[in-house]
Each structure stands twice: as C-alpha cells, then as structure tokens.
Amino acid sequence: MFILGIDTSCDDTSAAVLGEHHQVLSNVIHSQVKLHQPHGGVVPELASREHIRNIMPVVQMALDTAGLKTKEISAVAVTVGPGLIGSLLVGLYYAKGLAFGLKIPLVAVNHLEGHILSIFLEEQHPSFPFVVLTVSGGHTNIYHVRGWGEYQLLGQTLDDAAGEAFDKVSKILGLGYPGGPVLERAARGGEADKIKFPRAYLSKGSLDFSFSGLKTAVALYIKEWEKDGGNTSGVTLEDIAAAFQEAVVDVLVDKLILAAQKCGVKEVCMAGGVACNNHLRERLSQAATEHGLQAYWPRPAFCTDNGAMIGLAGYYKLKRGETADLSIDVQSRFPIG
C-alpha cells in the first residue's frame, strides 16, 4: 500500500509518499520563502497562485523519488485545515481530482494532527501516552496524546503563536524574514542575561501561553536602545535577540515539563517549525534529564510543514476507516482536542 500525503496549508507546497508501516519513500517540499521575502511575511494571494504552479511538479517529484507511477497510489491524504483558505483549496482540489480519477480513498487530515504525530516519522519516538508541544507560526498548543486520534488540548496561546513572535520580533530588530532561523543565528552571538524580558506564565499551573506582551516589551526596549546609541550602548542587537529567545524558550520548556507532570507521563515531544530551534532543543533536553523525562523531536524537515506528516496521520485514519467524501470542504479554523 502506498499513500500520498499533500500539504498546502500555508506557504510550502509539499508532497510525500509513504509505504507499508508508514515508511517515508519520498518527501518533497517546495518553499516559497523567496517569493514572500520582499513582503516581510506570507501574502495569501501570492501563496495560492504559487501552489497552483507547483502542486503538479511537486507531486510528480514525490512519485518519481519513490519510484512509483500515479496509478500505484492506494490512497491520498490531504490537509483540509487549519490554514490559509486559498492555499488549502489548491491541495484539496488536486487531491480530490486524484482520488476521483484513480478511484482511491481520499483522507482529510487536520494539519495539527500531522504535527502531533510527526515524531512517528522517526525511528526514535515515544509510546502512548505522552505530551506534545506543537509550536509553529500559527500555533502554540500542548496536547496529551493517548493514542492514534486521541488528543486532549491542555493549553494554547491566547494571542500570538511562538513562531509568530519570532517573526514579528525579527522584523522589529530589522533581521528580516523568515524570522525564526535568522533570529536564532543572531542570538548565537549575544548574551541572553543582559536584559530580562517578561515571561507570561499566566495563572499558577496554567498551560496557556501569551507572547504579545513580550513582543511589545522588545519593541519598547528597541526604541530606548536606539536613542541610547544602539550597538554602542553596551548592549548589542545580538544580546536583544538572545534575551528574547531565552524568554520564549523558558516558558515553552517550563510549561511542557509541567504538562508532563500533570499528566503523569514520562515522555515529552515537540514539533512544528519552532522545534527546529537549537537553543530550544538543548534547553528541553536538559530540563527533561533533570526531571527524569525522555524528550523527542523530529528532524527539521519533519518539523516544518511537510507532506510526510500528513501521509502518516492519513495512514492511521485510513486504518480506522476514516475516509472523506468528495464533497468535503476546507476549514481555515480547525481546532482539535
């Protein structure tokens, strides 16, 4: 059995082929970073047009890499939400066309379920139950994962997502787009403890997040810092980047560990674009060891948006007999748990 996984939820056109036991045979990602870079963020209209241009070659490359012909595909799994409506529509209608033409099942996948399960694309993965932090440009959620399809939302951001905060602060610091990787690079050259930015822990024991206050604090700090002579003031731009990153990482790590303690699980996991951050990985690894927990995260290509995680989530939905009707529509908001 071969399952094709497609994700066009935001600005990456991705397709993957998974074989028996959800083995990844190919995972092709066409990034739109260069297209959106001059605009400092994703422009939805441009994103959907670019998906239209790329969906066929990306799927073809995924099939070629897996050494398969289109007619050998047994099912097609596709993201139906959450995401940008125009972007989602391109993937869904392409998948519907394939399913109809090949007379194969269509499996509708929630993008968040893809991120939650992405750790199973790796050989080293937790066993149920565990907790997972999905931390990306659109979401910052913690889930208790009890089994395939059994997710309980424990906490979420009340305002900005962590990746969004990285992107916005990167813009404020004039570091450019995409914010996460450039800010991480800048932070490597700075000292995090020169400035103490606020950490929003919210009420005691809360597993919710808030990053908009932190973003405002950085913006206000930058204004004063520029008046004081910028890099000549004794605090560098790199120090500010490092202090911001530290504030985000502190809260993410502390809340994930707290979630594990509350649920009584021994394994924690993170996924999504921000989980690529090396400082976050190091800090989670240390904290997990200190608390007697095992921590996991997928390789970067499986952290950022990819078709493989959609193929994997689809594989298990198909096993449960959860196929979609061809009349299914996209959903820009699609909470789970």
Name the residues that contact ligand KG4, by CB under 6 A. 10, 136-138, 163-164, 166-167, 178-181, 184, 272-274, 276-277, 304-305
Least distance CB 79 / Zn ion (angstroms): 9
SS3 130: strand
By a kind-dependent CB cut-off of 5 to 8 A, residue 304 interacts, out of ligand KG4, Zn ion, none, with ligand KG4
Q: Which is nearer to ligand KG4, 155 or 178 (CB)?
A: 178
For 322, phi then psi, to 5°, come to -90, 80
By a kind-dependent CB cut-off of 5 to 8 A, residue 163 interacts, out of Zn ion, ligand KG4, none, with ligand KG4
Q: Which is nearer to Zn ion, 32 or 136 (CB)?
A: 136
Least distance CB 229 / ligand KG4 (angstroms): 29
The amino acid at 223: K
Q: Which is nearer to ligand KG4, 63 or 274 (CB)?
A: 274
Contact (Cβ atoms closer than 8 angstroms) between residue 68 and residue 98: no
For 161, other C-beta atoms within 10 Å of its C-beta total 23
Query: Scanning the structure block, which residue is given the tokens 């490092």?
Result: 242
Contact stretch for Zn ion (CB under 5 A) within 58-66, 167-175, 188-196, 300-308: 300-308
Q: Which is nearer to ligand KG4, 246 or 305 (CB)?
A: 305
Least distance CB 228 / ligand KG4 (angstroms): 27
136 binds Zn ion, rule: CB under 5 A: yes
Q: Could you tell me which of 124, 121, 142, 120 has the C-alpha nearest to residue 132?
A: 142
87 binds Zn ion, rule: CB under 5 A: no
**From CA 300, how far away is CA 281, in angstroms rounded?**
11
CA distances from 101 to 40, 92, 97, 109 (A): 39, 14, 6, 20
For 85, other C-beta atoms within 10 Å of its C-beta total 14
Contact (Cβ atoms closer than 8 angstroms) between residue 143 and residue 153: yes
**From CA 98, how far away is CA 100, in angstroms rounded?**
5
Least distance CB 105 / ligand KG4 (angstroms): 25
Tokens of 276: 């690529």
By a kind-dependent CB cut-off of 5 to 8 A, residue 126 interacts, out of Zn ion, ligand KG4, none, with none
x/- letters, 104..133, toward Zn ion (CB under 5 A): ------------------------------
Q: Which is nearer to Zn ion, 236 or 304 (CB)?
A: 304
Residues of this chain that bind Zn ion (CB under 5 A):
136, 305
